[in-house]
A and B are shown apart, each in its own frame.
Chain A
Amino acid sequence: MNKLKLNYTSLSFLPILVCIPLGYQLITNLHFGGFKLFLEFLISAFNPKIDNEIIIAVINRLNETILIGFFSWIVSIIFGAIFGILSSNIFYKIFNIPNFFYNIIRLFLTIIRSIHEVVWGILLMQIYGINFSIGIIAICIPYIAVNSKVFAEQLETIDYKNFESINQLNAPKFSALLTLIWNPIINTFKNFGLYRLECSIRSTVILGLFGIGGIGTSIFLSFQTLNFRELWTYLWSLAILIILSGLIFKKIKFNHTNKILSIFFITVFFITILLSFSYFLYFVFNNNFENFNSVSFLFRSSLDLGLFDFLKIIWETIILSLLSTGIAISFPPLVILIFNNNTSKSLIKIFAFLLRLIPTPIILLTLLTFNNPSLSLAALTLGLHNAGITSKLLFTNLDSQDKRNYIAMKSLGISKKTSWLLGLFSQQAKSYLAYCAYRSDIIIRETAIVGVIGSVGLGWQLQESLSSFALQEVTIVLIAYCSIAIVGELINGKIKNSLT
């Protein structure tokens, strides 16, 4: 009997096994109570509401979304770069600072990063009340840490010999640092910065669902009132915004050898730092801390969470992450393999775009129309949303890949599907899995969003504890949540390193 050989290609398909327990639970939880609603939801996609009133509302909500998204992006990318430098090896080598501080700042950023922006948003709303600035701050906090990781990873690629060389030139430390990091920072900004703006806009929409404002709030209100035509007007306008921003960014070619442009960017850099600090001080000293009476309240609050229940929700969160990751990894290659023709590929691309576009809570609420709330449903939602993202990357890489092997295999009479699998996908499988390892970090953090809506895991417990002002519970849940995210990041980091 032939043994199953594990290679990068088979490892990309293997996680599909999660569908066995997932499918079983989904089938047992199936109901048709909301089938009519679901049908109405689908039909409304082709018949969105268009009148003066809604157009004005869309413009206003989009304005808010763009403002929150843009400001959080610019602040998080600039401070991300600064913290990226502060958390990179090269900084400590040049300034001869003990590695202890390097480890401290890395740990600090890992903790900040492990908490999803929605959790930050909910926490900050409890402290400061609903406020336009909360959206920006809630996105900025984890995004600065996420961006800093990306910048730091790029700075770690600086050749140590370059450092030795510039050190030997006896350049002043700041000049040496600037000369060494300049290009890695600019290149990271060029390759990664604009993508983060799209992420900021998506996060603004998600935070909107929790009441921060912008188009997310309107989407959620439309869904709650079952006004699906209005909901689709907002969703399509959001799609147009994302497509347009993508097209604009493709046109913009950031040329850092252009003197005027470079001076402009440096000016923006310093003005943003200045304004962020002054705004931060203004925010801290002019807020009355509406719902946050004193820190001591945190320790006086009750702790009703039993150990068994607590371990159960931790376990649920881990399972939720694993199931979602399994779907996000295996669905895209499997679906492309099965429906391997040009028309199907176009349809898959549209479907994947919709999965990326529609915020996860809305996908989950829609799925609830024919399935009872369960861990599997939450996992399916999170998995599908992330499969939309991983499929985008897979399509981009496959489109830009050399197709000679594929053509050669087809010319040998090998079937189209096998040729695709062995001639195209097999060459992408390794980098695809490496990206999925990075993606699973994000999935762990995103469990909080579906948890809040889907009554599973730590996300749900967090919402419950916050609603009952059980701040001690909130603290414990956050510590557990951070720990899972940090352990997940460590494991994924090891997997990613072994793949790259």
Chain B
Amino acid sequence: MKNTVLELKNISYKYENNLILNKVNLKINSGEKIALLGKSGSGKTTLISVLNGTIKPTHGEVKIFNKSYEELDRKQKCKITTIWQDLRLIKDLSAEQNVNCGLLAENNLYFAFKNLLNISSFKKAHKYMQLCRLHNSIYDKKIRKLSGGQKQRVAIARSLIQESNILLADEPFNNLDPKLIATIKSLLLENVDKNNTKYPKTALVALHRLDLLKDFDKVMGIRDGKIFFDIKRTNLRKFHLDKIY
């Protein structure tokens, strides 16, 4: 029997009198890769923010590893990583420094100092940046000077370096060309373990493009803050999509 790692029970979220999430129930088992479909403004980002504990729901219960978010210790919280739609990189820091931010949780204050002062060689960051096809000429470049695709890959590298078990991603393939999408998708979803690299085992990825659904086990559809379907990918039909688009 599979373990439930993330569970939402009757979750509602209201913001300025608008109901963004409406009685959402959801279970994500360990090892599942789920694609979350829905048009813009349907509640995908809010759902991800509730799952990673960034926003507290107005109503309902969030269970992560069968515990509420407050009950989790830091080690357990570190098992979840998020790639935000707006990336949330620190613009004044370099690409390498941003990737290293993913390691702050497992290191002390001295590491944060070393990162900000650039007084060490960060092999682990380089490894993940190379995996994301980031050229070493951009390591020292400030985020504000990078292209959209480069920023996207920095955010992905920052997420991967955390070596977390659970990935929550909001449109992670934005700004990437088709060849890169294939590379990044395999990094995020396939449990390849070459070079001792750990990849997330469980994933919930918000998507717009239907051609990227391959490699996902399940597909979930959301509209107006409500989950309309939660089915196996192979069972997805046109009428499902008509419900949400």
Partners in one complex: yes
Q: Which A residues have a C-beta under 8 Å from some C-beta of B?
A: 161-162, 164-172, 174-176, 178-180, 182-184, 187, 257, 259, 262-263, 266
B17 interfacial by beta-carbon distance below 8 Å: no
Query: What are the nearest 9 A-B pairs in CB distance?
Result: A171-B104, A165-B88, A183-B92, A175-B112, A170-B105, A170-B77, A175-B104, A182-B116, A262-B117
**What are 15 A-B residue pairs whose CB atoms fall within 8 Å in the complex?**
A165-B84, A169-B162, A171-B101, A171-B112, A172-B104, A174-B109, A175-B104, A179-B104, A182-B116, A183-B92, A183-B93, A184-B92, A263-B117, A263-B119, A266-B117
- Shortest C-beta distance, A187 to chain B (Å), equals 7
The reply to whether B78 and A170 contact each other, CB–CB distance below 8 Å, is yes
B54 interfacial by beta-carbon distance below 8 Å: yes
- Shortest C-beta distance, B122 to chain A (Å), equals 14
Mask: chain B, 151-172; 1 = CB below 8 Å from A; 0 = not = 0000000100010000000000
Bound-state Cα–Cα, A168 to B102, Å = 10
What is the count of residue pairs linking A and B with beta-carbon distances less than 8 angstroms? 77
Q: Give the chain B neighbours of A183 by CB distance below 8 A.
A: 90, 92-93
The reply to whether A166 and B53 contact each other, CB–CB distance below 8 Å, is no
Q: Which residue of the partner chain, among A165, A166, A175, A184, contacts B107 with CB atoms under 8 Å?
A: A175
The reply to whether B119 and A169 contact each other, CB–CB distance below 8 Å, is no
Bin chain B's interface residue count. 20 to 34
Mask: chain B, 83-108; 1 = CB below 8 Å from A; 0 = not = 01010111011000000011011011
The reply to whether A175 and B54 contact each other, CB–CB distance below 8 Å, is no
Bound-state Cα–Cα, A180 to B116, Å = 10
A166-B101, A166-B104 known; 4 new pairs, CB 8 Å cut-off, are: A172-B108, A179-B104, A179-B112, A259-B118
Bound-state Cα–Cα, A184 to B91, Å = 11
Given A161-B86, A179-B112 in contact, is the A172-B105 Cβ separation under 8 Å? yes
Bound-state Cα–Cα, A167 to B86, Å = 16
Secondary structure type dominating chain A contacts: helix
The reply to whether B92 and A172 contact each other, CB–CB distance below 8 Å, is no
| Highest count of chain B CB atoms <10 Å: which of A164, A169, A172, A182 | A169
The reply to whether A169 and B54 contact each other, CB–CB distance below 8 Å, is no
Bound-state Cα–Cα, A164 to B85, Å = 13
- Shortest C-beta distance, B215 to chain A (Å), equals 25
Q: Give the chain A neighbours of B82 by CB distance below 8 A.
A: 165, 168
Q: Which residue of the partner chain, among A167, A178, A257, A259, contacts B109 with CB atoms under 8 Å?
A: A178
Given A161-B88, A179-B115, A187-B92 in contact, is the A169-B109 Cβ separation under 8 Å? no
The reply to whether A257 and B118 contact each other, CB–CB distance below 8 Å, is yes
Bound-state Cα–Cα, A172 to B110, Å = 11
Given A175-B107, A175-B108, A178-B113 in contact, is the A170-B88 Cβ separation under 8 Å? no
Q: Give the chain B neighbours of A172 by CB distance below 8 A.
A: 104-105, 108-109
Bound-state Cα–Cα, A183 to B75, Å = 28
Q: Give the chain A neighbours of B54 by CB distance below 8 A.
A: 164, 167-168
